[in-house]
Structure 1
Amino acid sequence: MINTKLIKDIRESAKMSIKQLADHTKLSTSYLYQVERGDKEPSLSALNKISKALNTPTSAFLGNHEAVNNFFINRVDPKKNKSTYVHNLEHYHKVFPGAKDLSDIMDRIKSGDEVLPDEIMAIYNKYRLLLHENNPRLIFEELLKSMKYDVNNIDITYLYDKIREQIRLEIKFMEDRNRNAINNTNSNDN
């Protein structure tokens, strides 16, 4: 069985659009969408083209966990001399030091325990979205977690909306104060 979800995960982590993948593989975008959704299983020929375009061993998509783990954990960025995924997870861990899921996976990677690619991609994508897509609600939730609050017992949406409204009011107050200061300065100059 081919892990078609992994194709999409690797393509997205490489910041490659489905159109770009189609151009590289000479496969249609609609076919690739069907493959990524799991509606269609690619032929071995198509899988080889996809693998080459994504710079990933074909065996990574065939359930060979050793090959997949080697791809994710040992894929080295020559400039950083370490795995690109592990390097990014280390960065995310510095930004969100209290994130238990991130700490747990980093500990497992460092200790050499088996870490499944789906686990790495789930954590990687979660924190990539937090930092790069600037989803303020998710960032707020992670902030609460890092402060050791049990987010399961907090109405995050309500709290987020209240804080956002308070910030809006504070900014309006500061803008008004600055505008008044400028007006006072201008009137004193006359």
Structure 2
Amino acid sequence: MLVFQCKRGSREALTGIYEKYKADLLLLAMGLLNDKSAAEDVVHDVFLSFVRSLDGFRLTGSLKGYLLTCAANHARNWNKAERVRLRGAEHIAPSVSQSIDGPADALACNEQLQLLSGALAELPFEQREALMLHMHGQMTFQAIARARRISTNTAKSRYRYGIDKLRSILNGRISKCNRQMT
């Protein structure tokens, strides 16, 4: 209904769609890009593209799934452009602002988030994308497969390999930290 209203020029409907999905899109883009500023740019680009394509837009599935797929595509394009621009320069993970009680809790949570963020950044983009779309975007493997134009088994494999690699990376880092503490 909101899409229909948007097509008829309703700013309120567009605002409603933006408010409903922006947090999901931002979290997905941040997980894929590991850069808050770039993720915000991606989300804005997604909505700008959505508005520009409204005249010919025809929704065949869920709007959330469509927008998440658009965000993943925009993030993929940003990653490619960034790789060309940086040519091998290391990308440092930004710190995440916290709303946690107590400095000790904030420090522990920040360390855990940085550990997870760094581990996610080490995954190949396709695996990171499958993880984020399935876990955060709550997309089924079939929906991921359709959106990425791959088989369902490939979507499942990317997810499974991503989980395994993430587990391996995190276990290795935790073991290393434990050895350094003793």
Q: What band does the TM-score fall into relative to the shorter chain?
A: 0.3 to 0.5
TM-score (normalised: structure 1): 0.34
TM-score (normalised: structure 2): 0.35
Q: Which has more radius of gyration?
A: 1
Which one has the bigger helix percentage? 2
- Determine which structure has greater relative contact order: mean sequence separation of CA pairs < 8 Å that are 6+ residues apart, divided by chain length: 2
